[in-house]
């Protein structure tokens, strides 16, 4: 009876999960205009796509924003809102690929603000104090490798990768020591010197007024948007702990796995493990694992099994 009930509930949940994740890339594409006009819809659509389709859809969203007939500030605000929402909705194990797509497909001039918002809103160490220096360094290096590989296929690769380095430097809050050298060391050798000695110090305002002009000039990009004007349009910043998600390497569980898990079903453990026992039990009241033994009564002394 229990097994039948569990299977019945599981079937219902499984069907619901399958339906929730049944959105095809073609169906998502039909909603691009709607999402660009209202970036708040991004997460709802992205969360229903398979991992590879999430990446493709984000790329197409960024292309659609570039073609959006709005002001430069309006466009950058949309890049911020859409990309943050898409990253939050990415499937387990897909965050690094989604982050790489952001740095590969957002226009260079928009990355001036996007890198700062991602550092403050999604990947700041202040959102998750449990992240150790070693954890942060590992997540940053593994992510930068993915970003570098993706950006190698587009124009202005070195500048784009440097924006990713800047994001991690801002998110790190100065720790661990040596982070900058570790990250710059992952860049192509021909790009390391200019990134370390010109682009990064200027963008971080080290010994000078903060400016992205050297990076924008190297990429023939447009002018950097006025940050305050963009922030007045973009959605309010919401601190979200996503650093740990960068360490995920597995994809999201299948619909069946999700539906039949004990957490998804909300069933009591006895139903999840029907026919199995995680703790040794016995019907012999003289044994330690006798089912009628109560905590605090000392060792079993042959008392009779109680019925309730």
Is residue 267, in this structure, part of any structural domain at all?
no
pLDDT tens-digit series, residues 108-156: 999 999 999 999 999 999 999 999 999 999 999 999 999 999 999 999 9
Which residues of the chain, if any, have pLDDT below 50?
1-20, 250-308
Identify whether residues 71 and 195 lie together within a single domain: yes
Identify whether residues 160 and 24 lie together within a single domain: yes
Is residue 273, in this structure, part of any structural domain at all?
no
User: 100 lies in which domain range?
Assistant: 2-256
Domain-ending residue, one of 256, 271, 297: 256
Is residue 270, in this structure, part of any structural domain at all?
no
pLDDT at 35: 98
Q: List, in sequence order, the alpha helices (H) in the chain.
A: 2-20, 25-29, 32-37, 42-46, 51-66, 72-88, 95-105, 108-121, 133-151, 157-172, 179-184, 189-194, 200-204, 213-219, 227-231, 255-260, 262-265, 269-272
pLDDT at 227: 81
pLDDT at 226: 84
Identify whether residues 150 and 288 lie together within a single domain: no
Is residue 251, in this structure, part of any structural domain at all?
yes
Identify whether residues 249 and 147 lie together within a single domain: yes
Identify whether residues 10 and 136 lie together within a single domain: yes
Identify whether residues 298 and 193 lie together within a single domain: no
Is residue 262, in this structure, part of any structural domain at all?
no
Residues 6+ apart with CB under 8 A from 142: 96, 246, 247
The count of domains in the chain is 2
pLDDT tens-digit series, residues 63-93: 999 999 999 999 999 999 999 999 999 999 9
Identify whether residues 251 and 286 lie together within a single domain: no
Is residue 40, in this structure, part of any structural domain at all?
yes
The reported pTM is 0.75
Identify whether residues 166 and 297 lie together within a single domain: no
Identify whether residues 134 and 102 lie together within a single domain: yes
pLDDT tens-digit series, residues 244-253: 999 876 444 3
Mean pLDDT computed over every residue of the chain: 81
Is residue 198, in this structure, part of any structural domain at all?
yes
Is residue 268, in this structure, part of any structural domain at all?
no
Identify whether residues 126 and 190 lie together within a single domain: yes
Identify whether residues 237 and 199 lie together within a single domain: yes
Identify whether residues 252 and 293 lie together within a single domain: no
CB atoms < 10 A from the CB of 182, how many?
A: 16
- CA-CA-CA-CA torsion sign (252, 50, 89, 268): negative
The C-alpha atoms of residue 229 and residue 88 are separated, in whole angstroms, by 24
pLDDT at 248: 79
């Amino acid at each position: 009876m229990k097994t039948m009930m569990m299977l019945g509930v599981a079937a219902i949940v499984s069907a619901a999960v399958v339906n929730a994740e049944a959105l095809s890339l073609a169906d998502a594409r039909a909603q691009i205009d709607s999402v660009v006009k209202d970036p708040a819809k991004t997460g709802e659509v992205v969360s229903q796509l398979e991992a590879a389709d999430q990446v493709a859809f984000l790329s197409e969203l960024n292309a659609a924003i570039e073609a959006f007939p709005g002001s430069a500030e309006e466009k950058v605000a949309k890049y911020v809102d859409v990309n943050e929402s898409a990253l939050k909705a990415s499937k387990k194990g897909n965050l690094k690929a989604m982050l790489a797509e952001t740095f590969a497909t957002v226009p260079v001039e928009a990355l001036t603000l996007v890198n700062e918002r991602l550092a403050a809103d999604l990947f700041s160490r202040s959102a998750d104090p449990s992240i150790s220096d070693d954890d942060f360094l590992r997540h940053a290096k593994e992510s930068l490798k993915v970003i570098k590989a993706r950006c190698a296929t587009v124009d202005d690769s070195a500048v784009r990768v440097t924006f990713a380095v800047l994001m991690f430097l801002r998110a790190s809050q100065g720790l661990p020591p040596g982070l900058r050298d570790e990250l710059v060391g992952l860049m192509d050798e021909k790009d390391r010197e200019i990134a370390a000695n010109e682009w990064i110090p200027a963008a971080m305002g080290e010994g000078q007024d903060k400016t992205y002009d050297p990076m924008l000039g190297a990429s023939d990009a447009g002018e950097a948007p006025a940050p305050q004007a963009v922030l007045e349009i973009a959605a309010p910043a919401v601190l979200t702990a996503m650093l740990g998600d960068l360490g995920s390497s597995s994809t999201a569980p299948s619909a069946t796995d999700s539906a039949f898990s004990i957490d998804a079903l909300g069933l009591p453990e006895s139903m999840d493990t029907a026919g199995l026992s995680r703790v040794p039990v016995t019907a012999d009241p003289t044994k330690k694992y006798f089912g009628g033994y109560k905590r605090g009564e000392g060792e079993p002394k042959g008392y009779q099994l109680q019925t309730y």
